[in-house]
A and B are shown apart, each in its own frame.
Chain A
Amino acid sequence: MIAPKTFSRYHFQGQHENERVLKIIHRHWFNILMHLFVILFLSIALVGSLALFSVSFPDALGDQGARFIAFLENTLLIFLWLYGFLVWIDYFFDVWIITDERIVNIEQKGLFTRSISELQFSRVQDVTSSVNGFISTMLNFGDVYVQTAAEEKRFVFRQVADPFAIKDEIMSLSRGALSDDVKTVAHAFREKTPETTSDTL
């Protein structure tokens, strides 16, 4: 039997004391694959061309030329390595965290733009998920839109894996939060008017 994935080792900035992380959601892997494809292609082309050239024309460049080409290739590899990690940061730190209290959206754009927003489950009014296109349908990824009670902009999970399951999870957590709110209000009401209730009963 496969044990359910636990997120107890995950911690984020601003996490409340007893807040439990239920799910960490990143964009679907296909999203980063498109970005990394360019890097992979260039790396293979670079290494391949160097190997092919030195095998095909061993005496064409001489020692100086070979060293110069090796320097260029190495410099390009450094650029690709740094660029690859910049893409990785943009992908991996763009994250949606579902806890037992709220949804936290951390949006990372490049190295210098980072925004964090949150939404309490009790404020969730409506959740919509959508999968558009052939590849998205085949790989099951798409967007989830969370509409709040206030007239604010929608909370959007972009290009996430299994959007329908995420929608169901948010809806069930939201229903739980609403019933908790009702219980709290009822409890407060009972505490406030004990005589009235006992008289009527």
Chain B
Amino acid sequence: MRPLFGLLYTLLFFSYITTALFVVFHLLRYSLDRKLAVFSTAFFLTVLGILLFTNALIFFSLPLEGFFPTNSFF
């Protein structure tokens, strides 16, 4: 069960990263004010970094087998 959840979580994690890359691209490429572009990108990435780090930390501490026990009867 754990490898399946690991795979799903990896896909989810990469979707966060892809969306974040598009957001950063827009902030840096299309901002009219360079200072604001750098500030908003730094702010976005800092908060997202903290959220992703804690998310991964919590995920890897989850006892996944405990939530979905395998039935030994069959």
A and B co-occur in one complex: yes
A: residues with CB less than 8 A from B are 9-12, 24, 64, 67-68, 70-71, 74-75, 77-78, 81-82, 85-86, 89, 93, 95, 97, 106, 108, 111, 114
A78 and B58 within 8 A (CB): no
In the complex, what residues of A have CB within 8 A of residue B63's CB?
A: 64, 67
The answer to whether B30 has its CB under 8 Å from any CB of chain A is yes
A89 and B51 within 8 A (CB): no
Residue of A nearest to B63 (CB): A64
Residue of B nearest to A86 (CB): B23
In the complex, what residues of B have CB within 8 A of residue A11's CB?
A: 32, 34
Q: Given A68-B62, A81-B51, does the pair A89, B23 have CB atoms closer than 8 Å?
A: yes
The binding surface of chain B is classed by DSSP as helix
Residue of B nearest to A80 (CB): B51
The answer to whether B16 has its CB under 8 Å from any CB of chain A is yes
17 extra interface residue pairs, beta carbon distance < 8 Å, beyond A71-B59, A85-B44, A95-B32: A9-B35, A10-B33, A24-B32, A64-B63, A67-B63, A74-B54, A74-B58, A77-B51, A78-B16, A78-B55, A81-B47, A82-B16, A82-B19, A86-B23, A89-B23, A93-B31, A111-B23
Contact with A along B51-69 (1 / 0, CB 8 A): 1101100110111001100
6 contacting pairs across A/B (C-beta < 8 A): A9-B33, A64-B63, A70-B58, A77-B51, A97-B32, A111-B22
A64 and B67 within 8 A (CB): yes
B61 and A85 within 8 A (CB): no
B: residues with CB less than 8 A from A are 12, 16, 19-20, 22-23, 26-27, 30-35, 44, 47-48, 51-52, 54-55, 58-59, 61-63, 66-67
Greatest chain B CB density within 10 A among A12, A85, A93, A97 is at A85
- Please pick, from A71, A75, A78, A93, the residue contacting B26 in the complex, using a CB distance under 8 A: A93
Number of A-B residue pairs at CB separation under 8 A: 62
In the complex, what residues of A have CB within 8 A of residue B22's CB?
A: 111
In the complex, what residues of A have CB within 8 A of residue B62's CB?
A: 64, 67-68, 71
In the complex, what residues of A have CB within 8 A of residue B31's CB?
A: 93
Residue of B nearest to A21 (CB): B32
Q: How far is the CA of A108 from the CA of B27 in the complex (A)?
A: 12
In the complex, what residues of A have CB within 8 A of residue B47's CB?
A: 81
In the complex, what residues of A have CB within 8 A of residue B48's CB?
A: 78, 81-82
B26 and A89 within 8 A (CB): yes
Q: How far is the CA of A85 from the CA of B67 in the complex (A)?
A: 34
Q: How far is the CA of A74 from the CA of B60 in the complex (A)?
A: 13
